Amino acid sequence: MDIIGIDLGTTNSVATVYTEDGLKHISFDGDFLLPSVVNVSNEGVIVGIKAKNMAMIAEENTAMSVKRLMGSSEKITLNGKDFTPEEVSSLIIKKIKETAEQEMGEEYKRCVITVPAYFNEKQREATTQAVKLAGLEVLRVINEPTAAAISYGVNRDEDMIYGVYDLGGGTFDISIIENSEGLIEVLSTTGDNHLGGDDFDEKLANLIWEKSGFDIELTRKLEIKLNQLAEKTKIILSNEESVHIDEKFFAKKDGEALHLEVDVSKEEFEELIEDDIERTIDLLLETLEESNSDIDDLEAIILTGG
């Protein structure tokens, strides 16, 4: 089968293909997540974790969170050349296609791609264009909550109403979905394309910076380094009550190395993002109202994102 399924995310992207043994996630450098980051230099194009690491030393040639720009007229300058959001996204999709073909030993010509349910026509067309630029035919564009419902194996034979709470790296959307007579219908959906894990990272990075006590300018390179540290800290706080950060030679002042050593607790982090979480709950209640449903009508809420 020459079809590949792609979730083009703000922060990370994933891909799945169908094999005789069922669905298989494509692996990128040992991980099924491919950072949605592109670096362009005189040596060529780098996509994924290597590009993400390059952001700390070549931020002017590195593009991140491009999904937030899809459908806009903004230009992204990389290595002195202007790119559209669609062109940058196509480089990510092309990397996915090439990796899948190398891993599976097959050529993929067609693609099913997901988009946020609240994407407008212009944003959807931009996503379709990105797929075509990557050398793939667009077989179908599926709303992310619908794809999540199918992926999580909701019993489609049973009539039920449920929610899909999709908190991604750069965007949030909430959808109320009905399974009726084997069909999936999105009753209502809403979201915020400027609310996600990236925003949590930024708030945590600001806290770490404040705690550091460093009396130096926060340059763009240092900001990227700090945000990546914040992301790692956030992940650890998912399982631990606190994190002790000890980063040697984190920065410099007047030629002298500055060592970063601070403690961050889960309680502090949760306080930082409390308003954001409250907003997602408010959006859930708004979406329920739009679907003429009540919270008690929901059989389940599927949590997705990453």
Task: Provide the annotated active-site residues.
Answer: 7, 67, 144, 166
Residue 110: count other Cβ atoms within 10 Å of its Cβ.
Answer: 14
For the chain, the distance separating the N- and C-terminal CA atoms, rounded to the nearest angstrom, is 28
In whole angstroms, give the CA distance from residue 287 to residue 293: 9
Residue with tokens 């974790």: 49
In whole angstroms, give the CA distance from residue 12 to residue 123: 18
Q: Which residues contact 144 (CB under 8 A, 6 or more apart)?
A: 7, 114, 115, 116, 117, 164, 166, 173, 304
DSSP for 44-82, please give it. EEEESHHHHHHTTT-GGGEE--GGGGTTS---EEETTEE
Token pair listed for 61: 């040639």
Instruction: Name residue 174's beta-bridge partners.
Output: 165, 190
Pair 91, 76: CB distance under 8 Å:
no
Length of the chain equals 306
Residue type, 192: D
Instruction: Name residue 15's beta-bridge partners.
Output: 6
Pair 43, 51: CB distance under 8 Å:
no
In whole angstroms, give the CA distance from residue 1 to residue 19: 8
Q: Which residues contact 34 (CB under 8 A, 6 or more apart)?
A: 12, 13, 14, 15, 28, 47, 48, 49, 92, 95, 96, 99
- Strands, E assignment, 105-168: 110-115, 137-143, 160-167
